[in-house]
């Protein structure tokens, strides 16, 4: 019998179906890559996931060809291929189907495992870098980031890191930002503004490894800035795989105005290097350009109320009335604004409507529980004498935006009121806490440590009016309380001697040197004019002041008793029956 001739290498490749397997593998690999890309995009996979899959598919080609050469799929199972015929296109089809289905299953399983969301998505939005030729558009870049942050906060399934913590972490690398702020993605960008044209570039990166998830550039005329912000917000939400909620991105209005000049004035007013009056003038400009600009009305109320700290008590009533009208109009224009509700609540407190303030803060927190809103609520609790509750709210505010452990600036008052002097000093030592030297003076007065008080007085600026007319003489007469108290009365009556903390300083020194009656008279005058200074009433040095009958009259006149009965008593006071109370 005649023996068959040996096959050529090319014929042997064909007989062993190597070419068919190679073509089938290429088709299957392409299909696998398409499905993997769809799954990865849907679940916000970092770039390395697709890179890994493509690498595995490429490496799998020679492996599949070698397996095809050595083995064949037959009706009796997988067998080593020998010389001779192996028939059955059905078996070849089965081999290809097996490769295709197995590859698809493994790829989808791996991709889902790597990218399946663990809880809500989270993002930090960093300030946009100013790369404009003049380098003078930082406020504009910060405004863009702020608007995106506020917009994305309203989306389902997305947790947005707060503004303050995002700014504080801006110089760190992606991994550090991700770990510090506990976010899985970071949005950064740049703004370049020339004339009436603006280019905004945004880049979304993975918080764990810094790989780019998505990036885009937008070139627009300035008149279309609001449409551009909406487009960016929508794109970012889509890239994060977040379902848009009703009335969120589609109602985007760019902080409540469509007037570009008004918006620009508003953004400029946010510069903390400006004085309060300069900020107010810019906000007035924004309102002049757009009278329905709710955010500008509300922020101007806040800035106006803040001028009380730098004004004399006889100006306080006029300032608070002005702030109230501004805040009320802001809420009327946009009742769904948490910031507007917070600012109105704050002004209501200054108007002695403590119950209205409490309700307003609760409504604001329900709309948006962020660090600024919660900490402002805590400061109102502090003024109401609920210092322990205030400290809890300050702690909540810090937990919302840790900022590397940075405390809320006003929280040192709560620590001082509870006699936690070391804690009050620690908070006052943090960078950015205003009036640190004066804070140390107040702490020393409450510690009742003569040497600490002398050291605090000596640390005061020598050119300050208060130092010259009050504290330097106190230091000189320190061992003679009678002379000091007599001098305090002379300074109190002298209308030519004025400084913002005059009544506060006199009341504190009077309480320290043993004249609670005079301290209450002076402090009562101050807080009736400017209730933002109420926190001092709850200091330890004021203990004897709080036990006077006239103190009960003061807090009743300030509407605090009505509030206490509704929401909880001050830590230093408690009810006596239905109609009476006492404080210590």
Same domain, 235 and 129: yes
CA–CA separation, 560 and 563 (whole Å)? 5
Q: What is the chain's mean pLDDT, rounded? A: 81
Domain endpoint, select from 254, 289, 318: 254
pLDDT digits (tens, 9 = 90+) for 5-58: 555 555 666 666 667 777 777 777 787 777 777 666 555 455 556 666 777 777
Per-residue tokens: 445: 């007065």
pLDDT digits (tens, 9 = 90+) for 528-553: 888 878 999 999 999 999 999 999 99
- Asked, for residue 519, whether it belongs to a domain, the answer is yes
Same domain, 220 and 132: yes
- Asked, for residue 345, whether it belongs to a domain, the answer is no
Same domain, 111 and 127: no
pLDDT at 425 over 80: yes
pLDDT digits (tens, 9 = 90+) for 435-470: 889 999 999 999 999 999 999 999 999 999 999 999
Query: Phi and psi for 362 in degrees, rounded to 5?
Result: -65, -40
Same domain, 140 and 17: no
Give the contacts of 202 (CB within 8 A, at least 6 positions apart). 187, 188, 189, 215, 216, 217, 218, 232, 235, 236
Same domain, 132 and 76: no
Per-residue tokens: 76: 């009796």
- Name the domain count of the chain: 3
Residue 228's CATH number: 3.40.50.10070
Same domain, 137 and 54: no
Residue 176 half-sphere exposure toward CB, CA atoms < 13 A: 10
pLDDT at 183 over 80: yes
pLDDT at 1 over 60: no
Q: Which of 368, 386, 300 is nearest to 565 (CA)?
A: 386
Q: Which of 77, 124, 103 is nearest to 21 (CA)?
A: 103
> Which of the four pLDDT bands, split at 50, 70 and 90, describes residue 3?
very low
CA–CA separation, 30 and 24 (whole Å)? 10
- Asked, for residue 376, whether it belongs to a domain, the answer is no
SS3 203: strand
SS3 4: coil
pTM over 0.85: no
What integer is the mean pLDDT of 124-148? 81
pLDDT at 161 over 60: yes
Measure the N-to-C terminal CA separation of the chain; round to a whole number of Å. 121
Q: Which of 26, 38, 25, 57 is nearest to 108 (CA)?
A: 38
- CB-neighbour burial class of residue 133 (10 A; exposed 0-12, middle 13-18, buried 19+): exposed
Report which secondary-structure segment, H or E, holds 206: strand 197-206
Same domain, 97 and 134: no
What integer is the mean pLDDT of 374-398? 94
Domain endpoint, select from 254, 285, 316: 254
pLDDT at 371 over 80: yes
| Structural domain that includes position 197 | 121-254
Domain endpoint, select from 115, 135, 167: 115
- Asked, for residue 35, whether it belongs to a domain, the answer is yes
Same domain, 126 and 189: yes
- Asked, for residue 364, whether it belongs to a domain, the answer is no
Same domain, 127 and 241: yes
CA–CA separation, 165 and 142 (whole Å)? 14
Beta-sheet strands, E only, within 207-315: 212-221
Question: Measured over all CA atoms, what is the biggest interatomic distance in the chain, rounded to whole angstroms?
Answer: 137
> Which of the four pLDDT bands, split at 50, 70 and 90, describes residue 364?
very high
Same domain, 69 and 148: no
What integer is the mean pLDDT of 556-574? 96
- Asked, for residue 66, whether it belongs to a domain, the answer is yes
What integer is the mean pLDDT of 139-167? 75
Is residue 184 within 8 Å of residue 206, measured between CB atoms? yes
Same domain, 517 and 498: yes
- Asked, for residue 522, whether it belongs to a domain, the answer is yes
Is residue 485 within 8 Å of residue 513, measured between CB atoms? yes
Output b/e per residue, 445-481; b: 16+ Cβ within 10 A.
bbbeeeebbeebbeebeeebebbebbbbbbeebeeeb
Query: Phi and psi for 514 in degrees, rounded to 5?
Result: 90, 30
Same domain, 188 and 80: no
- Asked, for residue 277, whether it belongs to a domain, the answer is no
């Amino acid at each position: 019998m005649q023996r068959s001739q040996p096959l050529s290498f090319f014929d042997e490749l064909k007989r062993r179906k190597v070419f068919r397997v190679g073509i089938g593998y290429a088709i299957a690999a392409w299909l696998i890559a398409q499905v993997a890309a769809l799954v990865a995009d849907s679940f916000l996979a970092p770039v390395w996931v697709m890179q890994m899959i493509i690498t595995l598919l490429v490496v799998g080609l020679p492996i599949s060809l070698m397996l095809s050469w050595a083995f064949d799929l037959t009706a009796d199972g997988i067998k080593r291929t020998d010389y001779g015929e192996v028939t059955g296109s059905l078996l070849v089809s089965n081999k290809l189907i097996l490769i295709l289905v197995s590859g698809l299953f493994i790829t989808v399983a791996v991709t889902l495992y790597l990218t399946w969301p663990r809880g809500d998505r989270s993002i930090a939005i960093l300030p946009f870098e100013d790369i404009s030729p003049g380098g003078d558009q930082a406020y504009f870049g910060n405004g863009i980031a702020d608007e995106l942050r506020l917009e994305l906060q309203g989306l389902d399934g997305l947790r947005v890191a707060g503004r303050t913590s995002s700014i504080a972490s801006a110089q760190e690398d992606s991994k550090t930002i991700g770990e510090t702020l506990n976010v899985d993605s970071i949005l950064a960008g740049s703004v370049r503004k020339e004339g009436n044209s603006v280019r905004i570039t945004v880049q979304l990166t993975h918080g764990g490894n810094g790989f780019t998830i998505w990036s885009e550039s937008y070139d627009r005329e300035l008149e279309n800035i609001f449409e551009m912000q909406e487009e960016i917000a929508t794109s970012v939400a889509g890239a994060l795989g977040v379902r848009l909620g009703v009335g969120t991105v589609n109602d985007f209005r760019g902080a409540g105005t469509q007037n570009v000049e008004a918006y620009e004035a508003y953004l400029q007013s946010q510069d903390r290097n400006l004085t309060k009056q300069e900020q107010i003038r810019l906000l007035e400009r924004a309102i002049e350009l757009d009278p329905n600009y709710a955010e500008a009305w509300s922020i101007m109320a806040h800035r106006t109320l803040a001028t009380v700290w730098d004004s004399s008590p006889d100006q306080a009533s006029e300032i608070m009335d002005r702030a109230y009208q501004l805040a009320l109009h802001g809420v009327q224009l946009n009742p769904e604004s948490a910031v507007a509700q917070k600012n109105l609540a704050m002004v209501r407190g200054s108007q002695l409507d403590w119950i209205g303030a409490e309700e307003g803060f609760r409504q604001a927190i329900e709309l948006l529980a962020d660090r600024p809103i919660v900490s402002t609520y805590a400061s109102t609790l502090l003024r109401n004498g609920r210092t322990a509750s205030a400290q809890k709210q300050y702690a909540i505010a810090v937990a919302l935006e840790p900022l590397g452990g940075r405390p809320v600036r006003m929280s040192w008052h709560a620590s001082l009121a509870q006699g936690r002097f070391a804690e009050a000093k620690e908070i006052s030592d943090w960078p950015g806490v205003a009036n640190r030297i004066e804070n140390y003076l107040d702490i020393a007065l409450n510690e009742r440590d003569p040497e600490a008080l002398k050291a605090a007085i000596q640390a005061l600026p020598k050119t300050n009016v208060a130092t010259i007319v009050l504290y330097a003489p106190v230091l000189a007469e320190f061992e003679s309380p009678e002379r000091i108290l007599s001098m305090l009365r002379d300074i109190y009556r002298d209308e030519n001697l004025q400084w913002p903390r005059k009544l506060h300083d006199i009341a504190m020194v009077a309480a320290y040197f043993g004249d609670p009656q005079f301290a209450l008279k002076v402090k009562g005058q101050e807080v009736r004019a400017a209730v933002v200074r109420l926190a001092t009433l709850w200091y330890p040095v004021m203990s004897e002041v709080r036990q006077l009958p006239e103190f009960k009259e003061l807090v009743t006149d300030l509407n605090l008793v009505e509030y206490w009965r509704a929401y909880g008593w001050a830590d230093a006071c408690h009810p006596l029956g239905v109609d009476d109370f006492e404080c210590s």
